[in-house]
Amino acid sequence: MRKYSTLTAIMYAIFILIGMSFFTAIALLFSALSGYVEYVPVIIIIAITLYSWFVLLLFHFFQTKRRKIVFISIAITAILIGMISPIQHAYKNNIPTMNTEVYVYEYTPFSKNARIATLDEPSTLRLSDDLPRMDGATALYPLYSAFVQATYPEQEYTPFDSEVMVNTTPDAYSNLFAGKVDMIFVAAPSNSQLKIAQQKGVELNMIPIGREAFVFFVNQKNTVNGLKFADIQDIYSGKVTNWNEVGGANDSIRAFQRPADSGSQTALEKVMGETPIMKAPHENISSGMGGIINEVSQYRNYKNALGYTFRFYSTEMIQNDQIKLLEIDGVAPTKETIRSDAYPLTSEFYIVTTGTKNENVQKFINWILSEQGQLLVEKSGYVAIN
């Protein structure tokens, strides 16, 4: 390479630094905007390596073959270290997820080919005005959508802004407390939701209308087919951390959790009773996902993962064949075991109100508890309360 004076070499080094900085900044910006943040370290390492190579050439460092080999070895090692994060990210994205986000329009009342149950006879209740405003958990939307189609006038009920909305459990309770709706279809409130109601001076009227099973699931390839009730408590308290402690392979248990006040997290809290739930790593808490459904149970289906949800949600709405529901104390979660109370994690779901002047609300509730309403509960895939 041509020899330069020290001053000239320094000037060239400065120009190269400016140029390299400009192109590196563009690469970093493109990486960030494209969502490939994990490539930032390797981009910086490559930029530093190239700059160092040019500068050392300018100052005649590579006068021996040994120096070149040492530099190249260090550069390759640094780049490989920088590639660890992108490789891990690619591996993680290659793992399938159990995504419980649902396309709610499939369950919108009066929509074409709606996936909701219907009666074989005219409803004994028909509402035409002062329609009760409602909200609820996504897992119960197919049910109260069926109630609406049977009793409400035929018109458009958008899931986001109409008399018949669907949100997460926390949002449904918030809308009820704020007086935006007359009733909500949800699981029992969490302790914090009960405290909020108390602080607002609101009395929660809870009317059970059906029964459902709280279920735990694992990767289809997991050799464990069931857990004891005590095993669940031991796992989610952090006492048991390996599948071989509950009859499985020698692999750590990756126990996912839901955000606070979600219906399934409240159900887990009831299962745990007085036993404290371990603090889950951030990556083991299912993330919120904006849009129609603000929070969904998205569990990355690691072979060592353990997650939970509700039976109907997983078997009818999601139908993911990459997971399997676990037996609890030797009993599988089915409509029959829910009805007989044989399955130990069975609970009621409710219509919750806080008092309203709309007289049609009580008429609507009475009809839901009637033979026709309870028949729709059964036909929708849940277990009737009566």
Q: What is the DSSP string of 103-170?
A: -GGGG-TT-TT------SS--S----SSPPPEEE-GGGHHHHHHHHHHHSPSS---SSSSSB----HH
List the domain boundaries for the chain.
6-93, 98-386
**Four-point Cα dihedral 99, 101, 103, 107, nearest 10:** 110
If pLDDT is split at 50, 70 and 90, which confidence band does 291 have? very low
State pLDDT tens for residues 5-28.
778 878 888 888 898 899 889 988
Residue 286 has pLDDT above 60, yes or no: no
State pLDDT tens for residues 141-196.
999 999 999 999 999 999 888 999 998 888 999 999 999 999 999 988 988 999 99
Q: Which residues contact 329 (CB under 8 A, 6 or more apart)?
A: 226, 228, 229, 344
Amino acid letter, 266: T
Q: Measured between alpha carbons, how far is 127 from 108 in angstroms, rounded to an integer? A: 18
Contact 313, 143 (CB under 8 A): no
State pLDDT tens for residues 96-135.
454 445 678 888 999 988 889 999 999 999 999 999 999 9
What is the enclosing helix (H) or strand (E) of 33?
Answer: helix 6-33
pLDDT, position 289: 25
Residue 355 burial (C-beta neighbours within 10 Å; 0-12, 13-18, 19+): exposed
The pair of three-digit structure tokens given for residue 24, joined into one six-digit string: 């590196």
Amino acid letter, 94: N
Top CATH class of 98-386 equals alpha beta
Residue 353 has pLDDT above 80, yes or no: yes
pTM, entire model: 0.67
Q: Which residues contact 49 (CB under 8 A, 6 or more apart)?
A: 75, 78, 79
